[in-house]
Structures are given as C-alpha cells and as structure tokens.
Amino acid sequence: MGGFDRFRARLRGSGRSRPPGPPLRSLLSVRTVAGQVFLLLLVFVVLLVTAAVVSHVLQGRRESMQEASLRTRAVAEAFAHSPAIVPALDSENPTATLQPWAEEARRGGGVDLIVVYSPDGTRYTHRYPDLIGEHVVGSGEPPSEPVTRTTETTSGVSVISLSPVRRPDGSVAGTVAASITVERVQGVVGRQLPVLLGSAAVAMALATGGAVLVSRRLRRQTRGLDPAELARLYEHHDAVLHAVREGVLIIGSDGRLLLANDEARRLLDLPQDAEGRRVTDVGLDPATARLLTSRRAATDEVCVAGDRLLAVNLRHTGERGGPPGIVATLRDTTDLRALAGKAEGVRERLLLLYEAGARIGTTLDVTRTAEELTEVAIPRFADFATVDLVESILRGEEPITPRGAVTNMRRTAVAGLSTDHPFHPVGYVLGFIPDGPSAPGMRSGRTVLEPDLTTSPDFRRRDPERTQRIIAYGVHSLLSVPLHARGVVLGMANFWRTRNPEPFHEDDVSFAEELVARAAVCVDNARRYTREHEMAVTLQRSLLPSAVPEQNAVDVAFRYLPAQAGVGGDWFDVIPLPGSRVALVVGDVVGHGLHAAATMGRLRTAVQNFSTLDLPADELLARVDELVGRMDQEERAGGGGTEITGATCLYAIYDPVTGCCSVARAGHPGPAVVMPDGTVEFPETPAGLPLGLGGLPFEAAEVRLPEGSRLVLFTDGLVEARSRDLDTGLELLRRSLSRRGRTPEETCADVLRTMLPTPPGDDVALLVAGTRILDPDRVAHWDVAPDPSAVAEVRKGVTRQLGEWGLEEEAFATELILSELVTNAIRYGAAPIRVRLLYDRTLICEVSDTSSTAPHLRYAATTDEGGRGLFLVARFAERWGTRYTDKGKVIWSEQTPGAGVL
C-alpha cells in the first residue's frame, strides 16, 4: 500500500480507538522534534532562573541599603524632634531620662542602636550601658543637618544616620545617631530564594509537559506517518497542484504569498522570488492586490491583470481546521473585457462629476464659472469645449425666454487640447434665431447630438465657411447642451471631439446634461451676485461725490476702493463753508452690501444738511449721533433688525485765513498731517464713541497747519488688515507720506500703491487736502464802536478797500449790506463789534459781536418803519447767514464780483 493510500486509510480510521501512545522516553528523545523543543526549553528555563536569582540578589542588596538608610534616618530624626528631648539634654542627668526612651525607640523602630551624644561627643545613651558616658573620639562637631553614611563596624557593614537636636533658639543641644547592619535588612532576600527555586521547578515541569504535548500533537496531525511517507505524499500533491489549468495562490494571515502554482505565475506574471513576499510587493495591480489581501470570501470577482480579466475566488483556509490564511483560485476570463471597459467608463464619469462639483463655481463670477466648465470637460470627455451665454446674463440681468427675436449670445469660454482651433474666440457675439435652424437647442431646451458632423446638413447650414474650417481641422462630433436655470436657457455648452476617434453617443448625453446642469446653477448664482453687486456699486457711486466743489482753501485729491467682498459703507465729502472755510469729512459704516451703502448715503446727507447750520465740528457730530440713535430706534421698533450703531466719522473744518483746523471724531482713526518739510505727524485728537452709542460728548481739537501742509483723512481699511495690526499700518502710512514735493494726486497714488498692493479686504476711502493760506492783502478788518455814527466810517473804509482790490462796481451793494449788518449789531448786539472783509472766490462780509441773538428775515408791512434791513441784505447778496462762535456770533454775506445786482 502506498503512502498516500495509507494516509487516506488512516484518515478513514481516525475515529477508531487508538493504540496506547509511545513511552515518555521515546517522546523526549533528542532525535524527535519534541525532544529538541524540550532541550531548548530546559536551557531557556535554566538561564532564566539564573538571571532571576542574580537580578534578585543585586536588587535586594540595593533595596536593603536604601531601606537601611531610610529607616535609620527616620528613627534618628523622629527621636531628635521629640518634644521632651531638649529639656532632657539640658537637665542635670540626661542619661536617666533618655536611656529608657532610646531603648524603647530602638526596639520599636527596628534598628540596632540609638545613641544620643552631647555637643562635645559624650554618649548619653547606648544599647550597652557600660559604654555610656564615654567620649567618642573623632566625633567632631555636631552636624548642622541630618546626615546618613555607611561604615564598617565590628558587626559588619552598618548604615548610620545622624540628626542634630536643636533648641528653640536654633543652638545645637546634642546629636541623635541611629544605626542598623545591612546584614539584618538583607535577610529578606535569603527568605525569597526558596520561592524562586520552587518557581524554577514548576517551570521545568511545565516545559516537560509541553514537550510531551507537542510530540503527541505532531504525531496526531501527521496521522502517524513517517518522514518518507510525508515526502511521497508531497510529491503527489505538487504534481497535481502544477498540472491543473487554474491558478492557485495560498496567502498567509500576514499578507505574504506562501504558494503559487505555475498557472498563477503565468496569469499574474509573478517574479521568481514572489513566494515569501507580501502580495502588495510583487507587482500586482493595486486593485487586484487589495482584493487578494481583503481577508473576505469572494466568488468570481473580476480583476485586471495586464491585458487579462481574471475571475477570482477566495476562501479562508481556517474554515476546515487549517492555518489562518486565504486560498485563491484564478481563471482567465478575457471575454469579459468589454463589460469591464463599460464599468470603467461609468466609474470615470462618476469621478468626473465629483470633480466638477468641487471645481465649478469656486467664484461668483459668470465668466470664470463658464471657464471652469470647459476646464473640467477637457480632455477626459471632449477635446474642445465652448460656452456661449446670453448677453443679458453677463450683465447680471434676468434671463428672458426668447420668442422669435434674435438672441445675442457671447462666446464666454473656450478650452481645448490646442490653441490653434477654428472656433470663434472669446468675446465673439453670435446671433441665434431661436425659431430657426441656427440654434435648435435654445428654443427646445433639449440637447442636440451630432455624432458625425461631416454628414449633418443642419450643422453645415449654420455658417458654411466656418463649418468647413471646423471639419477640415478634424472635428467630427458635437454635443450641444443648453444651460437651464429656473425654466429658462442661459446659454449653450458645446463639446467637440477631434483626436478622440469615438463619436459622441446617447450614453454621453445624460452625462453631459448632468455636468452642464451643475454648471448652470453656478452660472445663475453668479449672475444674481453680479446683478446685486452692480446694483450696490451703482447705488454707492451715486451716493459718493463724483467731484469736489470749487473752493480755494485746499487742493483736494481723493480715492475710493471697494472691498474685494463687495461695496461697503466708507465715504468722504468736501463741503465749502462760509468765510472761505471748508469741511473735510470721512466716515465708515460697519458691514457691506446694499444696506451699508444706503446707510452711508443717509449719513452723508445728514452731515451736509447739518453743515449748512455752520456748526462747530464737535456739535455737528453730536447732532449726527442723535440722528443715528433715532434711526436705530425706528429700525428696532419696525423689527427690521438693521441698526447702524457703530458707524464712525471724522469732521474737520479748515480756515484758510488763520491756518487753523478744528477736528472732531466719533470712533474714527485720527488724521495724518504732512508738514511742508516732509515730516509726518498724527496729532492727538479726542476719540469719541462711534455714532449711535450716545452717552459722552464729543470734543474738538485745534491743529495749526502751515501753508503747503497736507491733511490726510482715511478709513481703517487703509491701515488695518488681517496680515498687520493698526500700529504697523500707521507706521507704513507714515513712511509712504514722508516724501515732500508731491501733489495731493501723487500722494494718493503713492499711498495706495504702498499700502494696498493687493485688493483690500475692506473698502477704503482716502482724502488728501493740500492747505493754502489766504493772502493777508485780501483780508481787511475794522473794529466798530457801539455808536450809530461809526457806520459811516465803516462805509468809507470798505469803499477804499474795494478800490484797492479793483472792485469799485461792488462798492454800492457792499456798503448797503455792511450798513445794515453793522447797524443791527450796534442796535441789538453787544460790544466788541468787528467787521471783516475777505476777497477770495467771492467777496465775503462778516460782522461779529458777542451777542448770541440771531437776526431773522421778515417781510415788513407798508406802514412799518423798520424790518427791511435783512431783506435788502438778502436782495443784494447771493448768500447770507449766521454762525455761532464760543464768544458770540458772526453774520456773513457773500457776493460774486462781476455778477451785478438784480
């Protein structure tokens, strides 16, 4: 009977009673595996026990020394710090008191000896009474701190700890010494050795039992076969394994290839040294390697191996009592290639749609969204792609469903494998007639598929010349998909194929429609944003000044930069004031969008209206603050939830006659002043609360500006950014303003170039005013006595001054105006009274007094003797009014020389 047959016979008879096992001597023979294992275990146990004993002895010694040190130190310090030891040491007979205490402490503390010494080294206590009273030679002075040391004594190596005994005043009353021999502590180690030796004996017994069990297990698994029979059995197994026409792989639980037959090597193209290596390291396709190492059962799963399609079956080897692992069988199923190709195509399309969701619509820009659609489609779906959008979409307008009229569409994006294409360039306007054959997809809203352009009559009729160039270029297939959004068509996306010989087919239509549908939603969102942005920008531009009014006080240049996120609430203004003065205003409203722009317009209008009252800077901000508070209350009462609390403003009034500038601010950054020599200063101005918060009054600061200075007003967006703090921004602004000899326009350009190299995150308003001083020769003033007869002297002085200025023809009206104003000041005002005449762009007459009573224009009846003076002033002057000062009031009038008198 052959070995294989005997093995099968033993398998069939494995359920019968077995003969008694072999004796223990044969099992543990060194010729058997069990014997060799037993010998190895024996050596290992001996070495382990030896190492454990040595380690235990060394560890025991170290711990014994540590235990002795800790014990003696604790006993010595405890005895030295006991409450009654100091009185005992200072008594006449310390030994009588301390000896019994020391012996009791020695027995309780587990030490060999406790000795108390006097400061000069005389023993007061000892275990042996005959040694008490002796002076210890070499004891030296008592230690200042507890000390532990090891010494050699007649009893062996001992550990001694010394602790000083201190009186309440800190002096040393004596010393306490506690000692113990190391041998006494190390006795514990000797008591533990029997336990170690007993553990070694148990380990030997377990090793012997384990060797016996291993031997019996091996004989049971081999069914009693001897080595020759096992070799012969393996030869049969090897012949069968490599003769079958099916690949077989055995993979261990750690992912290593244990066995591969010849067919498996051929199908997978495995290297010669594949066995023993990990499956992931033998050059397999990643998907195939993941399948073979997945540790799951599989039936006829298809995977790719080079140019073959393999059906893979996986089973666990441990299911029938074998070692854990995987056995895999492989069959060549190349006939399934077409099916696998289709599945791969579907997977590629799904991946492309996933990428489209992430790459299309990254910005709220219509043109960029169209470009992203073409970039996604090239080259994995089409060789060229173009997007044409209705022109109204590009302007942000609502899309309109065309009905019969020509719809202008603009080529918005073009992308392809090359740039020398024959398609219309970006920006080209195409006129599509929705009801005609030129744009079938626009009217129907359905996708148009042209598998073969060379045989398509509709395609050739659209533009014969252009069509011929396209076909000559090699374009053979077209897929036109309309961009739908909310029931209307926004445009067309066209996909073209040239190098890809495969024409578009029906399966491509659904994919293209899904791809374009995602892009259409993004285009419509971008269109809505464009519309809202344009509305906000238009509103803001209409609310901001387009030009500065004519005046001679300052030379003004300004810049406004909208934020990258949209329009905001920054604003500025230049307002001429009576007396050749000018008001410079800069403000900021928190937030962005239409609400911020509208709020900015309301605040600018309010400031302009309040400026007509000719209020000081701090009073004007107080009025605006009160107005903002009322507007917030109205918003809260109406449930709008759009309060504007937090707006900031800076209001400056510059007087070219005196060169003084009055500045007040409400939560806004202060101005910068550039002196004529180029030095830059940030004058200290009181910082009020933002508008709408109320509570504290505003304060104004006076700043004197020499002629040729530049007053720079700005919003916080200029100096603050995410990448820098306020101090850094102000220092950078200082350096950008420090150059001298620049005009305000040049200053604005240089500041923005330095401070904002990239588009700002917040909108920015910048106002640069170059100061001028009115020529002193064009200013005349007189002090007027509070007497009606002084009016004649004023008229004479005014006539003489107008003659020097060459304004003789203005003398009559000016004399009449000043006569009435001075007469009113004398009659109703209070001294001192002062007249000032200014010749700037206009002729300005000012009469000031210290009274706060303002005149009012009224129409006198025919029977009234008075009341016509201010009527005459209003008749002969272009403008007149009253402004209050901290010392009274000023009544002023303006005339334009050469305008004549109506």
Q: 475-533: per-residue pLDDT in tens?
A: 888 998 988 887 788 888 999 999 888 888 888 888 888 888 888 888 888 888 777 77
Say how many C-beta atoms besides its own lie within 10 A of residue 384's C-beta.
26
Q: Map tokens 């297990």 to a residue.
A: 217
pLDDT at 902: 41
Q: Which residue has the higher pLDDT, 411 or 435?
A: 411
Mean pLDDT calculated for residue range 800-818: 86
Element at 147 (helix H, strand E): strand 147-153
- Quick one: which of 593, 653, 651 has its CA closest to 625? 651
Q: Do residues 325 and 251 lie in contact, with contact meaning Cβ atoms separated by under 8 Å?
A: yes
Q: Read off the pLDDT band of 158 (50, 70, 90).
A: confident
pLDDT at 18: 45
Q: Do residues 165 and 77 lie in contact, with contact meaning Cβ atoms separated by under 8 Å?
A: no
Mean pLDDT calculated for residue range 637-644: 62
Mean of the per-residue pLDDT values for the chain?
80
Query: What are phi and psi for residue 571, nearest 5 degrees?
Result: -155, 165
pLDDT at 401: 59
- Rounded CA separation 305/721 (Å): 57
Among the ranges 199-203, 226-230, 486-490, 671-675, which has the highest mean pLDDT value?
671-675
Mean pLDDT calculated for residue range 149-163: 79
Mean pLDDT calculated for residue range 179-194: 68
Residue 436 has pLDDT above 50, yes or no: no
Q: Do residues 381 and 348 lie in contact, with contact meaning Cβ atoms separated by under 8 Å?
A: no
Mean pLDDT calculated for residue range 305-334: 79
Element at 827 (helix H, strand E): helix 811-828
pLDDT at 865: 46
Among the ranges 146-160, 186-200, 547-561, 867-881, which has the highest mean pLDDT value?
547-561
- Rounded CA separation 166/144 (Å): 9
SS3 801: helix
Q: Do residues 678 and 747 lie in contact, with contact meaning Cβ atoms separated by under 8 Å?
A: no
DSSP code of residue 758: S
- Rounded CA separation 466/646 (Å): 61
502 has which bridge partners?
A: none
Which sign, positive or negative, has the C-alpha torsion 362, 368, 373, 379? Answer: negative
- Quick one: which of 653, 616, 617, 892 has its CA closest to 769? 653
pLDDT at 203: 72
pLDDT at 437: 38
pLDDT at 153: 74
pLDDT at 746: 92
pLDDT at 653: 96
Residue count (the chain): 902
Residue 16 has pLDDT above 50, yes or no: no
Residue 643 has pLDDT above 70, yes or no: no
Q: Read off the pLDDT band of 187 (50, 70, 90).
A: low
Mean pLDDT calculated for residue range 711-739: 87
Q: Do residues 326 and 315 lie in contact, with contact meaning Cβ atoms separated by under 8 Å?
A: yes
Element at 136 (helix H, strand E): none
Locate the DSSP E strands across 642-724: 648-655, 660-666, 672-674, 680-681, 687-688, 700-704, 710-714
Residue 410 has pLDDT above 60, yes or no: yes
Q: Which residue has the higher pLDDT, 190 or 773?
A: 773
- Rounded CA separation 868/820 (Å): 9
Residue 771 has pLDDT above 80, yes or no: yes
DSSP code of residue 563: B
Residue 248 has pLDDT above 80, yes or no: yes
- Rounded CA separation 576/556 (Å): 12
Query: What are phi and psi for residue 838, nearest 5 degrees?
Result: -120, 135
Residue 537 has pLDDT above 70, yes or no: yes
Mean pLDDT calculated for residue range 452-473: 79
Flag the least confident range among 339-343, 715-719, 859-863, 887-891.
859-863
The angle at the Cα of 80, spanning 76 to 81, to the nearest 5 degrees, equals 120
Mean pLDDT calculated for residue range 83-102: 83
Q: Do residues 807 and 839 lie in contact, with contact meaning Cβ atoms separated by under 8 Å?
A: yes
Q: Which residue has the higher pLDDT, 342 or 885?
A: 885
Q: Read off the pLDDT band of 278 (50, 70, 90).
A: confident
Residue 778 has pLDDT above 60, yes or no: yes
pLDDT at 100: 87
Among the ranges 16-30, 62-76, 128-142, 542-556, which has the highest mean pLDDT value?
542-556
Residue 241 has pLDDT above 50, yes or no: yes
Q: Do residues 488 and 401 lie in contact, with contact meaning Cβ atoms separated by under 8 Å?
A: yes
CA distances 819 to 112, 808, 882, Å, are 126, 17, 17
pLDDT at 596: 79
Q: Which residue has the higher pLDDT, 673 or 265?
A: 673
Residue 198 has pLDDT above 80, yes or no: no
Among the ranges 414-418, 617-621, 791-795, which has the highest mean pLDDT value?
617-621
Flag the least confident range among 287-301, 509-523, 651-665.
287-301
DSSP code of residue 278: B
Residue 120 has pLDDT above 70, yes or no: yes
Mean pLDDT calculated for residue range 718-737: 86
pLDDT at 218: 65
